[in-house]
Structure 1
Amino acid sequence: MQLIASPLSPFVRKVRVLLLETGLADQVTVVNLATTPLETDPNAASANPLGKIPALVREGGATLYDSRVITRYLDDLAGGGLYPQARLWEVLTLEATAEGIMEAALAMTYEARFRPEEMQYAPWVEAQWAKAARALDAVKARWMSHLAGPLDMSHIAMGCALGYLDFRHEARGWRAGRPALETWYAGFSARESMALTAPEAA
């Protein structure tokens, strides 16, 4: 299998962390591309008509795309138990919350990197941050006990979301007023799978 990827994408990082946690890393070749919303790499477009990454190219099967589809497939393949049936809806909801944080943060990044300065719209950027901040407050208020439980996919997704905030939006200071989440992330980010997949500035 091939994972069409970028080392800076938090959505790709989710998949890479899962591969390490489930022991599947040696079964998937990571193919890193330089693709943007304005210039889609042909290989990304070939794997996913939307041009988005990640995409998982399988031998003898349809290529899978959308990180949540890929992680469900790989977890099932490995028997990893990262989507436990007993708390499946909680796992999926918290994973979706983390993905929403990533999407808002990525939209902020794109606004700064791909729009000319005179076309950037500060109120829109602040609205994206407001989404992320509300999600973080919801995690603080309702999800800390879940994060304290056994490892599941929502933990990986949230760890990657917080890591992306540090990587691209550190000045926003997401830790302020959220000490329990800060403590959880400090421990989770020390996992080998997280350390091995940490993005480097480009």
Structure 2
Amino acid sequence: MRVRFRSRQGIMQLFATPASPWVRRVMICIIELGIQDKVTTIQTRWPHSWGTHTVPFTPEFGQATPVGRIPALVTDQGLSLADSMVICDYLNAEYGQYRLLPQAGERRWRILSQVAIANGILEAHISRRAELLRDPAGRSAAFLEKMKVRAQRCFVALNEDAVDFAPEPDLAQITIAAACGFSDFRYQGDQWRATSPHLAYWYENFSQRSSMVLTRPAETPQ
């Protein structure tokens, strides 16, 4: 059995970095649920070789996430959760009374459908980032273009949905906002707003929420 370690009683540990949109999704959920006092953030460091090489981890981080990805959450009971969607699901169920994602029903599946598309944006952006961090001689221009087109296609797919977003945030809106924010952070030249005006209008308002302002991305410490 994998050895677990416990956080301080009543306090969870979140391994994080300010550039990651996956981390930002979790942090937005934490703030929207009003449970900041239940989580302590542990900053991780990532050299630019993270996309192609194994990087050294602290023992605590390696124990929390053998996968070697962020975010990773250690609950106050010592349970390690090493996937942002799983972490959000856990926080929503244990602390949010399913406010961000219903436990069952049609609305749950509609939200998860939108989450899956927004995840596609994030996955494409992170894959593109890893490729851009390679030595220029080893980069694949075709792969970079493929990831760019994939993200653009997902933005367009979410554009019409944005007209009907509920007034209160849910996990789909949070994930979509993280995707929009990361696109602005890393790929301003993509101009996703040009093909997704409804989404752009929604994001302009959503980005003013305190949960968004407090989690604006910044460069990852190396």
Q: Which has the larger radius of gyration?
A: 2
Give the total of aligned pairs.
200
Q: 1:100 to 1:74 in 2, by over 3 A?
A: same
Partner Cα distance (1:150, 1:25) in 2 = 19
Residues of 2 paired with 1:172 and 1:144: CA distance?
19
What is the rounded CA distance, in whole Å, between the counterparts of 1:131 and 1:188 in structure 2?
A: 24
SS at match of 1:131: helix
Match of 1:166 in 2: 184
* CA displacement at 1:76 relative to structure 2: 1.1
1:119 counterpart residue number:
138
Q: CA deviation at 1:155?
A: 0.4
The reply on whether 1:73 has 2:90 as its aligned counterpart is yes
Local SS of the residue matching 2:45: coil
Query: Residue 193 of structure 2: SS of its match in structure 1?
Result: coil
Give the number of the structure whose residues are more often helix, by fraction. Answer: 1
How far apart, in 2, do the equivalents of 1:198 and 1:80 lie? 25
Matches of 1:170 and 1:76 in 2, distance apart?
Answer: 35
In the aligned structure 1, how far is the partner of 2:196 from the partner of 2:188? 15
Q: Which moved more, 1:157-166 or 1:45-54?
A: 45-54
- 2:175 is paired with a residue whose SS is helix
Structure showing greater relative contact order (alpha-carbon pairs closer than 8 Å, 6 or more residues apart): 2
- Identify the residue that residue 150 of structure 1 maps to in structure 2: 168
Could you tell me the TM-score, scaled by structure 1's length? 0.93
CA distance in 2, matches of 1:18, 1:161: 14
Q: Aligned pair 1:28/2:43, yes or no? A: no
Which one of the candidate residues 115, 128, 140 is aligned to 2:159? 140
1:41 corresponds to 2:57: yes
Match of 1:13 in 2: 24
- Conservation of the 8 A alpha-carbon contact between 1:22 and 1:80: no
Residue identity matched to 2:15: I
Stretch of structure 1 that moved more, 132-141 or 39-48? 39-48
**Worse-matched range after superposition: 186-195 or 92-101:** 92-101
- What is the aligned-residue identity percentage? 36
* 1:58 to 2:75 alignment: yes
Question: In 2, are the aligned partners of 1:167 and 1:201 still within 8 Å (CA)?
Answer: no
Which consecutive unaligned segments of at least 5 residues does structure 1 have?
none
Greater shift, 36-45 or 147-156, is seen at 36-45
Instruction: Tell me the SS of whatever aligns to 1:7.
Output: coil
Tell me the secondary structure at the aligned position of residue 192 of structure 2: coil
Distance 2:77 2:88 in 1: 19
The correspondence for 2:130, drawn from 90, 110, 127, is 110
Name the Cα RMSD after superposition: 1.5
